[in-house]
Structure formats: structure tokens, C-alpha cells
């Protein structure tokens, strides 16, 4: 895709304003993002890259779903003074392109690292940001509710199984323990299915996708949005804060706990009331399974010896991934052996 030709095309369609543009690209794991500035206004172009095992149709469906989700949620929060969702402007199935208006703010990752590294108390604005992030998530989860079905349980357990069994993470004995736990847990959940419901979840609700502008929480990246149990977002956020999958936040443990407490206070959730719940254990295992598989793949990557800085960065990453990989495996076995 030629970004400048695409901009001109959207200007002719009056989707974007006329004027000279400045383009700043950056690469992400599965997409390229372009920040486009025109006449003082900023727009984001998200272009999906082809991924192994995904067809053009698969990726177009994923991006189309994100476009529809943004339209729905932007309209829902449009007049809210405290929460905001990017406004979608254009979607192209052929180009795998999604264009949105920019929303401003500093990511919770930056806010957390900036304030919590200081000696002394956590800055009140950081606590406020995390608390508001929790309140937004509660609003999202309360938009609608649907019953958990037995097929939903089957798909959840299949998702976990294919990521933990037969992929080289655990020994045969450990895999047998995992399978035994999953069988017992599934039986328990199916027989209490009426206790559980599903709701809209972000599915990638982490500090890099949440911006705070001093007053308003602005939430990005709804590419994985779906209907699922709220535990998915609540557990994923906590694991990311606690250092899983690349140690997103890097500061003292006491500060991390204070910000997590603010987040859960905003949501109206006490983790101690849920940690013994069978469904909670399964969603915790689901997220740890994804992290373990991802980190196993990352730590196998070869180290680049061409540049000293590149070598050090890659070596450090491998050390971190190895440490997190070991801790994640340990956490998984603690769940199934409890």
C-alpha cells in the first residue's frame, strides 16, 4: 500500500481534510501504524500484515469486526466526559486498512513507570488514572450479558489444551496432571453453568492500550474485542502489571500493588472473593497458557551478533523471557496441583 496515494484518495472522498500531510510510521508485531498529520489534525492508519496461517479473508474479517466495534462503542461513549473511544473513519478489506481519528493522552504504562519509580508515595494522578481505567472496564462489561453455554466451555478448554499439551512446554507427567485438572474442572463448571455469564470484553486490556489525558480515559485497540467472561480482562490486566509477557511495568512491588488496588477499586472487584472460583482458575490458566507458549517461541530466537547494542538488547530480552517462562510454568503447575 502506498500511504500517500491512499491519503490523497481519502481526501478526494472528503474522508480526510485537504492539506499537506506528515507521515510517521512504526512497526508493531502484526501491523504497521501510520500517524498522519493534516492541517493540525492527527489520524491513525492501521495496516495489518499477513500472518502465517491466516488468509486475507481471516484478517479482513478481524479488521472489519474492529471497525464495527469502534463505531458502536464510539457512539456509546460519544457524550461521556470521562471516557473516549477512537472514532473510525474508513475501512478497506482489500488494503487491510483501518483509519481512525487520534485520541490523546499518556499510556498507563508510561504513567506507571514515570511516577512509581520515585522514592515515596505514588503520585495521586497515577492512582486516579488506574482507578478510572477500572471504572471504564466495568462500564464495558455491563453493556450487555449473555448466558454461558456448554459449547463455550468446550471451546475454552480446547483453547487451553492445544497451547499446553504436546507443544514441548511440560513433561508427560506434568501434561497428565494438566489434563486431569481440566477434566475435573470442566465437569464442575458445566454442572454450575447457570452461575456464569459472558459480556463484552476488550481482550487486550493492558497499560499500553489505555491513555489518560489528565481527566479522560481513552481506550485503544479493539482488534480482539469479543463476548467472553469478564475474568479475561481482569486477569490479563493483572498479569501484565505483575510482569508477565515482557514485564510491561517496571517499578517497585509496593507501587505496583497500589496501582492495581486502585484499578480494582474503580472496577468494584476484590480478587480475594474470586481466586477460589473454578471459572477464575480456568481463565487464569488460559492466559498463562498463552504467555507460556509465546515466551517459549521468543526465547528460541537466535541472538544477533552484528551489533553490540542489538546483541545486548536481544540477550537481555532472552534472559527476561527465560525468567518469565520459568515463573509462568511454575504458576500453571501450582494451579493444577492445588
CATH code, 185: 3.90.1200.10
Distance CA 237, CA 204 (A): 8
How much is the average pLDDT of 72-96?
94
Of the three residues 66, 101, 136, the one that is the final residue of a domain is: 101
CA distances from 292 to 18, 296, 321, 335 (A): 48, 6, 9, 14
Question: In this predicted structure, which of 1-5, 118-122, 144-148, 234-238 has the lowest mean pLDDT?
Answer: 118-122
Q: Are 332 and 288 in contact (CB under 8 A)?
A: yes
DSSP per residue, 231-281: HHHHHHHHHHHTTHHHHS--S-HHHHHHHHHHHHHHHT--GGGTTT-HHHH
Instruction: Examine the domain organization and report whether 264 and 299 are in the same domain.
Output: yes
151-162 residues labelled b (16+ CB within 10 A) or e (exposed) = ebbeebbeebee
Phi, psi of 155 (to 5 degrees): -65, -35
pLDDT at 275: 75
pLDDT at 28: 81
Assess whether pLDDT exceeds 90 at residue 280: yes
CA distances from 130 to 118, 207, 293 (A): 17, 9, 29
Assess whether pLDDT exceeds 90 at residue 199: yes
Instruction: Examine the domain organization and report whether 13 and 45 are in the same domain.
Output: yes
Of the three residues 82, 101, 120, the one that is the final residue of a domain is: 101
Strands 217-219 and 83-84: parallel
Question: In this predicted structure, which of 41-45, 74-78, 308-312 has the lowest mean pLDDT?
Answer: 308-312
Question: Which grid coordinates are listed for 281?
Answer: 482458575
pLDDT at 326: 85
Instruction: Examine the domain organization and report whether 140 and 240 are in the same domain.
Output: yes
Instruction: Examine the domain organization and report whether 94 and 125 are in the same domain.
Output: no
Instruction: Examine the domain organization and report whether 63 and 148 are in the same domain.
Output: no
Q: Which residues pair with 121 in a beta bridge?
A: none
Q: SS3 helix, strand, coil % of the chain, rounded to 5?
A: 55, 15, 30
Domain holding 62, by residue range, is 3-101
Question: Which grid coordinates are listed for 279?
Answer: 471459572
Instruction: Examine the domain organization and report whether 158 and 10 are in the same domain.
Output: no
Instruction: Examine the domain organization and report whether 119 and 24 are in the same domain.
Output: no
Instruction: Give the strand order in the sheet containing 97-101.
Output: 21-27, 31-38, 41-48, 97-101, 88-92
Domain count, the chain: 2
Record the pTM: 0.88
CATH number at 26 reads 3.30.200.20
Distance CA 282, CA 139 (A): 24
Instruction: Give the strand order in the sheet containing 106-107.
Output: 83-84, 217-219, 210-212, 106-107
Of the three residues 43, 73, 101, the one that is the final residue of a domain is: 101
pLDDT at 210: 95
Q: What integer best gives the mean pLDDT of the chain?
A: 87
Q: Are 152 and 189 in contact (CB under 8 A)?
A: no
Instruction: Examine the domain organization and report whether 293 and 175 are in the same domain.
Output: yes
Question: In this predicted structure, which of 119-128, 148-157, 223-232 has the lowest mean pLDDT?
Answer: 119-128
Instruction: Examine the domain organization and report whether 192 and 87 are in the same domain.
Output: no
**Considering Cα of 63, then 291, then 298, then 175, what sign does the dihedral take?**
negative
Distance CA 311, CA 210 (A): 31
Instruction: Examine the domain organization and report whether 86 and 146 are in the same domain.
Output: no
How much is the average pLDDT of 183-187?
93
Best CA proximity match to 42, nearest among 222, 218, 248, 225? 218
C-alpha 184: how far from chain center: 29
Instruction: Examine the domain organization and report whether 157 and 269 are in the same domain.
Output: yes
Q: Are 205 and 233 in contact (CB under 8 A)?
A: yes
CA distances from 241 to 38, 89, 127, 199, 234 (A): 36, 32, 14, 23, 11
Instruction: Examine the domain organization and report whether 229 and 86 are in the same domain.
Output: no
Amino acid at each position: 500500500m502506498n500511504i500517500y496515494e491512499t491519503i490523497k484518495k481519502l481526501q478526494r472522498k472528503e474522508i480526510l481534510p485537504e492539506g499537506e500531510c506528515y507521515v510517521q510510521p512504526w512497526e508493531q508485531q502484526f501491523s504497521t501504524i501510520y500517524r498522519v498529520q493534516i492541517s493540525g489534525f492527527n489520524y491513525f492508519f492501521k495496516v495489518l500484515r499477513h500472518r502465517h496461517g491466516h488468509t486475507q479473508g481471516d484478517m479482513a474479517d478481524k479488521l472489519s469486526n474492529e471497525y464495527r466495534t469502534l463505531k458502536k462503542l464510539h457512539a456509546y461513549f460519544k457524550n461521556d466526559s470521562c471516557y473516549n473511544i477512537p472514532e473510525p473513519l474508513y475501512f478497506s478489506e482489500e488494503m487491510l486498512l483501518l483509519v481512525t481519528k487520534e485520541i490523546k493522552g499518556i499510556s498507563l504504562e508510561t504513567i506507571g513507570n514515570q511516577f512509581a519509580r520515585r522514592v515515596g508515595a505514588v503520585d495521586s494522578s497515577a492512582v486516579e488514572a488506574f482507578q478510572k481505567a477500572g471504572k471504564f472496564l466495568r462500564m464495558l462489561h455491563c453493556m450487555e450479558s449473555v448466558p454461558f453455554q456448554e459449547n463455550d466451555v468446550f471451546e475454552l478448554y480446547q483453547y487451553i489444551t492445544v497451547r499446553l499439551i504436546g507443544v514441548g512446554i511440560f513433561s508427560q507427567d506434568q501434561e497428565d496432571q494438566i489434563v486431569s485438572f481440566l477434566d475435573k474442572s470442566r465437569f464442575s463448571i458445566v454442572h454450575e453453568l447457570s452461575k456464569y455469564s459472558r459480556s463484552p470484553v476488550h481482550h487486550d486490556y493492558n497499560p499500553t492500550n489505555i491513555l489518560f489525558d489528565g481527566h479522560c480515559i481513552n481506550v485503544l485497540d479493539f482488534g480482539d474485542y469479543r463476548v467472553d467472561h469478564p475474568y479475561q480482562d481482569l486477569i490479563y490486566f493483572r498479569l501484565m502489571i505483575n510482569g508477565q509477557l515482557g514485564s510491561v511495568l517496571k517499578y517497585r512491588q509496593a507501587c505496583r500493588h497500589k496501582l492495581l488496588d486502585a484499578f480494582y477499586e474503580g472496577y468494584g472487584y476484590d480478587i480475594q472473593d474470586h481466586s477460589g472460583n473454578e471459572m477464575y482458575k480456568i481463565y487464569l490458566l488460559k492466559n498463562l497458557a498463552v504467555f507460556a507458549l509465546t515466551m517459549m517461541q521468543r526465547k528460541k530466537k537466535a541472538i544477533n551478533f552484528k551489533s553490540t547494542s542489538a546483541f545486548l538488547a536481544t540477550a537481555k530480552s532472552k534472559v527476561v523471557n527465560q525468567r518469565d517462562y520459568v515463573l509462568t510454568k511454575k504458576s500453571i503447575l501450582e494451579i493444577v496441583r492445588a
